[in-house]
Amino acid sequence: MKEILFLLGIFIAYHLIKFIFYYRKQTKKDDEILRSITLEQALSILINELNTYAFNGNGHITHLNKTSIQIYLQNSSQIITLNLLGGIVTLVWKMKIMGREFVYSINLTNIQNVTGEEQRKSAQLIIRQFEEKLEKFKDNL
């Protein structure tokens, strides 16, 4: 029994150490990406396209920290959050509809050297997927 507990302890310690090193490696990627520009600058066209669609261009951009921003409009029923971790941007778009919350989420990879046109195409894809999922959500209300 002691041997099993010992092996289990080693197994857990190994994976914990592995996770810590992986996390540190991922945050170094973020630091490299954001060394000379902010997340808002790196994804300016994507953010502008989403702001235009969701808030008619009137949304406010708030920096939550170095790796997270939100786009929102006061008294609006929706909010868009972008979070960078390990070179991957997670976009979460929340909207209140008839007292229920609709959440759309997508991960964007390889954002280091993405062009303006690629950002525009990504925004169009995100909006299209958002609309499709929103319609399905509304059908189930």
For the cut 90, the answer to whether the pLDDT of residue 50 exceeds it is yes
Q: What is the C-alpha to C-alpha distance for residues 51 and 131, in angstroms, rounded to an integer?
A: 15
Cβ burial of 103 (10 Å; 0-12, 13-18, 19+) is exposed
Q: CA–CA distance from 54 to each of 66, 72, 113, 124, 139 (Å)?
A: 23, 9, 25, 12, 20
| β-strand partners of 68 | 65, 83
The count of structural domains within the chain is 1
pLDDT digits (tens, 9 = 90+) for 53-96: 999 999 999 999 888 999 999 999 999 999 988 778 999 999 99
Q: How far is residue 108's CA from residue 106's CA, in Å, rounded to a whole number?
A: 7
Domain that holds residue 84: 2-139
pTM of the model: 0.78
